[in-house]
Copies of this chain bind each other. A is one copy, B any other.
Amino acid sequence: MPDESFISEPPKELVLPDGFRFTHGQVISPFTIVYETFGALNAEKSNAILVCHALSASAHAAGKYAPEDKPGWWDGLVGFSKPIDLDKYFVVCVNLPGSPFGTTAPKNVDPATGKAYGSRYPWPTIEDMVQSQKIVIDHLGISHLRSIAGGSLGGMQVLMWCAMYPDFSDSIIAMATGSAVPVTGIAWHILGRKIIEADQCFKGGDYYDDDERAGESLRGLQVARMLGHMTYLSAESLQRKFGRRRRGNTRQFEIDSYFEYQGQKFAALYDANSYIRVQAAMDEMDLEEQYGDLKTAFARWRGRTLLVSFDTDWLFPPIETERVAAAMRALGIEAHHEAMISANGHDTFLMDYDLISPAVRAFLR
């Protein structure tokens, strides 16, 4: 697999002059959806794959805007001659409602008030995320997808597509995910939200004071991210990377220094209102609760299905993936569950391309 990335196109904007209606009823109008595309759509518009991003990522799934930039978040999987092969497929990735990377977000100014939406921004759902993707896909004139792929929160969107638009794609690829976040993950997420809300500077979400970057130094967001980041790792990877080692000649544990680096880096890029909303959306999705049971949720889905789990994943242990696979198989769906062995926990789907690429390549062949 070639290591080089490619130069990607800049993000595109789709402005909805009549606004976007959230599941819970609120409308933000106008509403901008930012998305990126990779590769070329064929004349029949029949070679499109939708890629769904996770919590901390953006529409920038692959490639680099310029040679000196960092590549997109799934660059190891999406590219020319890569498993999601741009010689063959046209890939679309949509920045989800709530996320601070382009699509109208809590930190953006409401033209009606001249102030950031802040606490008034709706609490989006996974259905809203799917809906925003559907709007972009429709806008591009694509009436059918070859596949829909994603991991973690992205994988939850993939499964939601099967329930909401079961005829729309030939196949799905969902990694490190499930039809609902189990209680362990809910607990970590709730703690993260409490940490942010406990920060006196958070002010109930209205902390911008006419500066959409005011949230960048929120200590609550930094510490919440440290906790979040930890849950994406595993006991093995923590032991291997850090153990009980101290930093240089100091008594500070290396894991402490690493947490500070990750927390500060993340808070400078992300936004606290976005963080609590996107995580809450994950926690609220529960296909069993919403459809009665998983067989009903997937009753009309008939596409080929690749589900991938990792044995050390703290957030979505393999049993969560297997529940989805079992429900699908009971419906006669061709569902492959690749239960992979990895020391890297939840984030394996973003890290270990040697491990995941062969399965994706074989599945899409």
Contact = CB atoms under 8 A, between A and B. Distances in A.
Interface in A51-72: none
B186 A253 contact: yes
A183 B242 contact: yes
A255 B183 contact: yes
Given A186-B253, A283-B253, A244 B191 contact: no
Interface stretch (A96-104, A220-228, A295-303): A220-228
A259 B180 contact: no
Contacts of A255: 183, 186-187, 190
A243 interface: yes
A321 to B, nearest CB: 15
Given A244-B286, A289-B244, A194 B223 contact: yes
Interface stretch (A132-140, A147-155, A195-203): A195-203
A238 interface: yes
A182 interface: yes
Contact of A198 (B180, B223, B256, B317): B223
Interface residues of A, number: 37
A220 B195 CA distance: 8
A255 B253 CA distance: 31
A42 interface: no
A143 interface: no
Nearest to A194: B223
Given A183-B243, A219-B198, A226 B191 contact: yes
B186 A227 contact: no
Given A198-B199, A199-B198, A227-B227, A190 B256 contact: yes
A239 interface: yes
A16 to B, nearest CB: 28
Interface in A239-292: 239, 242-244, 251, 253, 255-256, 259, 283-284, 286, 289
Interface string A85-117: 000000000000000000000000000000000
A195 B223 contact: yes
A339 interface: no
Interface in A129-180: 180
B198 A239 contact: no
A223 B202 CA distance: 16
Nearest to A230: B187
Nearest to A255: B187
Nearest to A242: B183
Interface string A198-217: 11100000000000000000
Nearest to A240: B183
Contacts of A242: 183
A235 interface: yes
Contacts of A226: 191, 194
A26 interface: no
A317 to B, nearest CB: 7
A184 interface: yes
Contacts of A244: 180-183, 186, 286, 289
Nearest to A188: B230
7 A-B pairs closest in CB distance: A198-B219, A183-B238, A200-B200, A194-B223, A184-B235, A190-B256, A187-B255
